[in-house]
Structure 1
Amino acid sequence: NTVQRQTKLAKVGFSTEITCSIDFLDRNYFVIWYKNGKYLFEHEPRMSLNLSRDGRIYTRNEQEDIALLRIQNVSVRDAGEYHCKAVHTSVGKPMFHYWKINVQDGPILSPIRSVRENETFSAQCCVTFTYSTEPVKYLWSIGNPLTTTFSDNFGGNLTCSNVSFTAVRAFHNKLVVCTVENELNSSTHERINLMLPPTMKLQINGHDTNATAVLANGTHVNITCYAIDSTTKAYISWNCNEKTCPSEGSLSNDMHEKLNNATREFFTADSTINYTAMQNEDVICTAGIYGDRNWTKSVKISVF
């Protein structure tokens, strides 16, 4: 009798198929499938060429003398030892073809939390096999390749890779991609929610101001604070010598959203106070952002 043995790597959620080549001179033979020694299905010579049973499709290609078992949606339960047995109806020895299906679950990338600019954070990517396999090579990228990590199977079925990097502005809204390099070459990804701080700017009567402004006593001016292009909404507050700034008239506090291809990308806030110069003091605008972070811009008012 003819015996063939092969191993197949399949992935959870995808399809896979195994074949059984038959070498009889005519087509009067049965094809019987087994899993882990238990009977699955018998394909008689005159049965329909395509039959479905329990999520598996059994096919006979009589022109090429091939029987095929196709699993549509692989799960961990589909791992195991399969074999087909071809038996002629009258003459010849049975033929056997043995397959071992090793099921891969993953790669699975751990969720990546929101991260601030210049913060260092880590990502972990893992893959599980129903049977031990060769060492896995992981490839990481965020647009460009990151450090490649080799990892063994630790004597079992789970293997993981970790990578750490410092978030920079260019990573905003990019994908961290983890690829497991083997015969399946599977990959997965997570989007980086990189929280960018605003660019702070102060203007007096529409003109950019430096760290100091010299004003005559009693001068009325509009001081405007801008918190520009942050990835989180900011609300601006004012402080004069560590107290709430007195203002005449209205206080504006406006938020603007910059849209990119109909997707909210960045926010800009601005606020204006009507200020009267009465004494030397520090005028500070604060943009509250991230819930626990504040960003400030100040001007020192000198009165003469």
Structure 2
Amino acid sequence: MFLFKVAVSLKESTEILTQFGTVGKIELNFDTSGHVPFVTWTMPQSTTIEHDLQVDNVVKTTEDYKSTVAGNGVFAALEIYNVNFLDAGTYTCHMDFSDTGRSSERSIQVSVIGFPSLLMENGATENETISATCCVNVSLTVEDNIMWNLNQSGSLLILKEVNTNSAEEFLKNTCSKITFEVHRRHHRQLLRCSLRKEMNVFSEVAMDVQYPASIRYAGNDILHISVHQFANVCCISEGNPRPSVELQWLSTEGDWKFLSNVTEYVYYREPFTYWTFMIHVAVRQPLQVRCFAINKIPPAATTQVLNLVAKYLASVRMLSPSTTVPEGSDIIIECQSDGFPPPDTMLVMLSNTNGTEWTHLPIKATMSNKSITTRKFELKSLAMNDSGKYQCVANNSEGYALSKTIEINGKFATVRLIKYLAGSFTKAQIISEIVNNKT
């Protein structure tokens, strides 16, 4: 029910607007100064309702109206059932105070508004220009223009608007046609047209704007996973129509291929779709993957490359054999290690017979081939106390490894004194033998 309460001065006219198909109500207040009036309502089609408050009840009803007069004429109300356009017009309430010869009258102009109808092209692609038309039937006295708005972002940037009116006997048809550019922010918003906001009478339609797929990670661009564990690759997609998403891997030939041996979980929360791909990491080699999204609006979208790197225990090999070298010699010992994260590799000398104490030796050179790293350790000017057992040690977050041990033995430089005493060598030759550690 639409309720209109009016308090006006004598002979003053007021306009009210009511909606088609509802119950309209006019309420008036009069100053009767304690006198009891004879009340007459006159409607647009010359229909009348009369109240003789000396003998009548305070309520009178007909098929279309209900009149109520209370407080000996201080308050008068008229209800209009099932309002239509024939009910538009002037309603007059006349009060005649016969005992004083005085009268009082109020005139109210009632206008009627129908329910708006809204037509719009839907399924447009973002940045496309489309049109929408809103029409509403109103009584002849209504001069309002149709208003447009969105339920979330408020106003709409209208490029062009054309208003038209066509009158009939009891009503006129008011239309507004607008042209505007759609964007993805408009998707799922409600486009609304109305005549008067305060009446809350409107028509609306959900906007369907199509736009290309987009996708991004819900985390980092590198994952370190232990071998034989599962890695979760999480991607978030958006687009209209809702894009399909797959996980791809980069083959050795340089082609992106569909990764089929994954478990997929999907969760929808408009406007986004959350994708989780569970991958079993069974090999040591790094795996490069990406999320790929596509719908019918080009272009397709991909994430950056995600590197799945398997973590595995360090391993190490001793490449150098046991050997005996003259005192004062330089010697190179090689260790070869593998593992991820790349292990720290050391050459140690076992300081006691149990091998429980280590002495670290400096690295001379490092060479890497994929995950395998070869390090060269140099013992310069080998002294006799450098003789002993040597071992390679590799360590990473997954654990450590030890190589086999080798023995490095030094021996004193000897001079072939017998030959010297026999006169085979000169003194200078013997000195040269000592300097060059020859036997």
Change (3 A) 1:186 1:5: same
Shift in Å, 1:80: 4.0
Alignment of 1:84-123 (within 5 A): 84-87=93-96, 92=101, 97-110=106-119, 113-123=122-132
TM-score (structure 2 length as normaliser)? 0.45
CA distance in 2: counterparts of 1:246 and 1:192, whole angstroms:
34
Shift in Å, 1:293: 6.9
Change (3 A) 1:117 1:207: farther
Secondary structure of the residue that 1:173 maps to in structure 2?
A: coil
Contact 1:61–1:67 under 8 Å retained in 2:
yes
Alignment of 1:198-277 (within 5 A): 198-200=213-215, 207=222, 228-230=237-239, 232-236=241-245, 250=261, 252=263, 254-258=265-269, 264-269=270-275
Secondary structure of the residue that 2:266 maps to in structure 1?
A: strand
Per-residue CA distance 1:272-292 (angstroms, 9 max, x = gap): 999xxxxxxxx99864536x8
CA distance in 2: counterparts of 1:232 and 1:269, whole angstroms:
16
Per-residue CA distance 1:55-98 (angstroms, 9 max, x = gap): 64422243663422133653435324534444556774876654
Contact 2:236–2:272 under 8 Å retained in 1:
no
Per-residue CA distance 1:82-141 (angstroms, 9 max, x = gap): 344445567748766544422111444335634443333222222321214335263545
Which amino acid in structure 1 is aligned with residue 163 of structure 2?
Answer: S
Which amino acid in structure 1 is aligned with residue 261 of structure 2?
Answer: S
**For the aligned residues, what is the CA RMSD?**
5.0
- Which of the residues 164, 185, 192 maps onto 1:170? 185
Aligned to 1:43: 51
Change (3 A) 1:120 1:207: farther
Are 2:12 and 1:12 equivalent residues in the alignment? no
Alignment of 1:68-83 (within 5 A): 68-71=77-80, 74-83=83-92
- Which of the residues 275, 295, 298 maps onto 2:300? 295
Contact 2:215–2:238 under 8 Å retained in 1:
no
CA distance in 1: counterparts of 2:303 and 2:271, whole angstroms:
27
CA distance in 1: counterparts of 2:29 and 2:302, whole angstroms:
76
Are 2:137 and 1:125 equivalent residues in the alignment? no
Aligned residues: 269
Per-residue CA distance 1:150-193 (angstroms, 9 max, x = gap): 83535561222233332223334333343435985855544434
Change (3 A) 1:151 1:181: farther
Contact 1:286–1:296 under 8 Å retained in 2:
yes
Shift in Å, 1:13: 5.0
TM-score (structure 1 length as normaliser)? 0.60
Show structure 1 runs of 5+ residues with no match: 209-221, 259-263, 275-282, 300-304
Identity %: 19
Secondary structure of the residue that 2:185 maps to in structure 1?
A: helix
Change (3 A) 1:185 1:192: same
CA distance in 2: counterparts of 1:64 and 1:246, whole angstroms:
85
Change (3 A) 1:150 1:236: closer
Show structure 2 runs of 5+ residues with no match: 1-9, 224-230, 281-288, 305-439
- Which of the residues 56, 63, 69 maps onto 1:60? 69
Which amino acid in structure 1 is aligned with residue 85 of structure 2?
Answer: V
Which amino acid in structure 2 is aligned with residue 250 of structure 1?
Answer: N
Contact 2:135–2:176 under 8 Å retained in 1:
yes
CA distance in 1: counterparts of 2:216 and 2:148, whole angstroms:
42
Higher relative contact order (CA 8 A, sep 6+): 1
Structure with bigger gyration radius:
2
Q: Which of the pair is proportionally richer in strand? A: 1
Are 2:172 and 1:161 equivalent residues in the alignment? no
Are 2:152 and 1:146 equivalent residues in the alignment? no
Contact 2:215–2:291 under 8 Å retained in 1:
no
Alignment of 1:23-34 (within 5 A): 26-34=35-43
- Which of the residues 145, 151, 168 maps onto 1:136? 145
Contact 2:212–2:294 under 8 Å retained in 1:
no
Change (3 A) 1:104 1:238: same
Contact 2:123–2:210 under 8 Å retained in 1:
yes
Per-residue CA distance 1:216-248 (angstroms, 9 max, x = gap): xxxxxx9x895713354433479999xx9687x
CA distance in 1: counterparts of 2:12 and 2:181, whole angstroms:
51
